[in-house]
Amino acid sequence: MWPFDAAGGPGLSIESLWLALYLLTFALHAVFVSYVAAGAAYAGVAAIRHSASPIAARTRDWLPFMLGAGITAGVGPLLFLQLLYQRRFYTANLLMGPRWGAVVPALIVGFYALYLAKAGERWRRIALAAGTACFGFVAWSWTELHQLMADDPAWRAMYGAGERFHLELAVVPRLALWLGAMPVLFATVAAWSATPAERRRLAYLALAGLGLAGAAAAVLIAGHGFESAHGWGPVTVLAAAVALAGWVVTARRPDGAGLTVTTAATAAALVAGAVVREVPRLAMIERDRATAVDAGGLAVFVVTLGIGIAAIAWVVRTVRGASR
Amino acid sequence: MSPLDSPIPHYPVNDFGPLMKGLVIGGVGILHVFLAQFAIGGGMVMAYLERLGQRGVQDARTFVDGFFKILVLVSFVVGALTGVAMWFTTIQVGARTIGLMIDEFHWLWATEWVWFAIEITAGYAFYRHGGVLGDRARLRLLALYALASWMSLFWINGILAWQLTPGRWLDGGGIWAGFFNASFWPSLVFRTAVATTLGALVACIVINTMDLPRERRAALIRRVSWFAAPIAAMPLIALWFLAVIPADSRSWLLGGSMPMTMFVGVAAGASFLIGGYVVVGLLLHRLYINGATATLLLGLAFGATAAGEFVREGARKPYTVRGVLYSTSIRPAEVAALRASGVTADDPYPLRDAYPSDPLTRGAKVERALCDACHTMRGANALVELTRTWTDDQLRLNIAKLQHTKGFMPPFAGNALDVEALVQLLRWEHAERPAGFAPTSSPEHVAEIARWLDEAGTAPADAPGSGADGASAAGAAGAERQVP
């Protein structure tokens, strides 16, 4: 299925496998980091308003774990990104230099801020504001890096001028798209442990996020045209529309089946959207690096992945069983 | 030419001011290794004490549910973050090196990632829900955490050890020949011993903060002290490591390079002191260790870790991946071509600073391409200071025959004009960058440099055929694994 068979030649290429794993791990990573970024902002607003929101309380409780999970899940796409676009990724890293390196200290500050916010009320507002700012900075940095990777004609001048920022207008709608998607993903995860009244509130948040994401997507489409991507584009739109309808239903009947529908649709939109996001870069995939193509160890990875899924499933089952 | 089109990858080079790049990656690496290894050893200590607790040692159970588990949690999350920082820093310092490692070992790296995901899940599940779990589930969760964190070490250790001793991988032996290389086992045993020691020392500090009578704290300390005992074997592990690494690397560590020898001494001395205190004081004489002493020993362990990492990095010189990639991010087989074309010919990136003449501009580009990975101009490991007392002819000869000037330097990967341009740049820097600088170059100088380059050959100093007999690159290039 396109784009996984787009490498040319008979059968699936190893690049197709890297691409599939990149997209899946990226989607998983996006769920966790969206929870963190949007959740920190949500809890921060609740703290500023002195609201005793149970959603905010639960979110504060989960945020440190979600950040840990997001970073761990992020190592997967980071690995496959280096296989697919090695020279572009490294060059963009180096061009942004210390400004890119600031991503890690920002995450460390954000991590401790989340614990501070969880620990007590005294520093909560400042901690959550600082955490949200850190995660916003990281989201912006990745968006900027994504754009810079593709803009090789600009590299030489950027390096010569000693510039560390790739400030171009295209970063804005792309970042806005993510800033819209993040509350949707946060609401989707948070709603499963929410009461009906809380679900209604989360539905409104998700609908606002979908509105922002839709507006940003419209700007991107106006600039670049609608990307059908062999059907993945329409699937993304359709899935987003179903998610929207699901949230509308959830807002009206929070204890109905709307959440199940919207969760499935959001997952589909996320994966299909990840494919569409990748389409402009497919021609940039660096093929035929013999060392990478011929590298062994795939069987070990597959077996370990099976063990890992089983182990994590056991942990989740054990913990859920005890919690009941 | 686009930066993407050059046959040899050219990446933008960043300047870290007075810090040489090795210090930057060393700083991040030492912090990461220290945290990550503590998270591994801490997990083992917790699993052991949980088992004791379930067999009736109530203080052990109190310890497991106390402050220590928070330290382990913080360590594995910050360890993960500094792990990502290591990736980014390595890109800054040697993009081609990390690219080669990813290319060759990506499935094993992905395997390590799976174990890491298990580690995070199990560790956090215990931290969050340990209090409501039954004994069996608690022990299994901690055992899973300890196993997963050690497996994560197992996989990454093979990839890092391969950089120094790729062994049969160079002859086409495949990924497993590269992974289970000569220094794999001594490195794994060394890191495991360090991890358990760090876990034990931090546990001793935490036990001292517990609200228990002294004799009960002493009893707990005696239990966890066993985890620090393996560090007493460090001299043997070090000898094992020294026995399997290449002879030239061994010679740097054993007197060939005094800074390296001193770091070996620091690592060995600190390990000996910790091991001696633990075995003689804690285990044989059953002494009590207070929080201050445990903290001091932990500081020594940090010093040993830092020195050990420095030795591991330094022993690879002049390579980042032995036989495959020099510290300049140039492959041995590429040196001969660069001798013909010059190292600046395909460099797509301009200089950020202006220089008063074309030879100095070229010299600055040569310095950026061939020296900047390990040297600064005026900061740490400064070229200006290293060469300040050399005469002009010494500069020319020593740079042209670089691998013979110092055995841990790679062969000069440029032509005679590049050497001369670098010589003029260094003279200009020695003279404090005068505006009206008079070069001393002549065609005769360039011809002489060309002769010296030919005499030196393109093979590294340790390769057969390298030397003043005019050997070509054939010796090194023939033995080299062909990689992009």
pLDDT in tens, A139-193: 999 999 999 999 999 999 999 999 999 988 989 999 999 999 999 999 999 999 9
How large is the C-alpha radius of gyration of chain B? Answer: 26
**Which of A81, A312, A75, A289 is CA-nearest to residue B110?**
A75
Largest CA distance in chain A: 63
Bond before B318 cis per omega within 30 degrees: yes
Q: Are B56 and B219 in contact (CB under 8 A)?
A: no
Q: pLDDT category, B464, cuts 50, 70, 90?
A: low
What is the model's pLDDT at position B235?
87
- Mean pLDDT, residues A278-287 taken together: 92
pLDDT confidence of B477, banded at 50, 70, 90? very low
* pTM score of the predicted model: 0.93
The mean per-residue pLDDT over the stretch B443-450 comes to 97
> For B321, which DSSP code?
E
| pLDDT(B472) > 50 | no
First to last CA, chain B: 19
Average pLDDT over residues B119-132: 92
B118–A311 C-beta distance less than 8 A: yes
Rounded distance between C-alpha atoms, residue A39 and residue A47, angstroms: 12
Strands (E), A214-283: none
Chain B positions touching A155 (Cβ under 8 A) are 3, 12, 348-349
Closest chain A CA to residue B152: A304
Residue B135: both structure tokens together? 């004994």
- Structure tokens belonging to residue A49: 């308003």
Per-residue pLDDT tens for B229-253?
Answer: 999 898 899 999 999 999 999 998 9
| % residues pLDDT > 70 (chain B) | 95
Q: Which of the residue ranges A303-317, B223-237, B252-266 has the most confident prediction, judged by mean pLDDT?
A: A303-317
- With an 8 Å Cβ cutoff, are A159 and B2 in contact? no
Distance CA A158, CA A153 (A): 10
Strand partners, B382: B376
Alpha-carbon gap: A297 to the closest alpha carbon of chain B (Å): 5
If you search the block for the tokens 């690879």, which residue do you land on?
A: B316
pLDDT in tens, A110-152: 999 999 999 988 899 999 999 999 999 999 999 999 999 999 9
The verdict on A310 touching B (C-beta cutoff 8 Å) is no
| Residue listed under structure tokens 């002195």 | A50
Nearest to A304 among B14, B81, B115 (CB): B115
B257 Cα to chain A: minimum distance (Å): 31
Q: Which amino acid is at A289?
A: R
Closest CA to B331 of B470, B476, B450: B476
Give the mean pLDDT of chain B. Answer: 91
Q: What is the mean pLDDT of residues B213-228?
A: 95
What is the predicted ipTM? 0.94
CA–CA distance, B378 with B432 (Å, rounded to integer): 11
Interchain contact, B77 vs A94, CB within 8 Å: no
Cβ-defined contact of A94 to B11 (cutoff 8 Å): yes
**Does the distance separating the beta carbons of A155 and B87 come in below 8 Å?**
no
Could you report the per-residue pLDDT of A54-102, keeping only the tens digit for each?
Answer: 999 999 999 999 999 999 999 999 999 999 999 999 999 999 999 999 9
Based on the number of CB atoms within 10 Å of its own CB, is B239 exposed (0-12), middle (13-18) or buried (19 or more)?
A: exposed
* Closest CB from A91, A108, A322 relative to B12: A91
CB contact under 8 A, B121 and A159: no
Span B326-375, pLDDT tens digits: 999 999 999 999 999 999 999 999 999 999 999 999 999 999 999 999 99
DSSP for B103-151, written as a single string: HHHHHHHHHHHHHHHHHHHHHHHHHHHGGGS-HHHHHHHHHHHHHHHHH
Residues B75, B237: Cα–Cα separation, whole Å? 26
A160 at the B interface (CB within 8 A)? yes
Q: Confirm or reject contact between A260 and chain B (CB < 8 A).
A: no
Q: Best residue in A15, A72, A83 to probe B by mutation, most B CBs within 10 Å?
A: A72
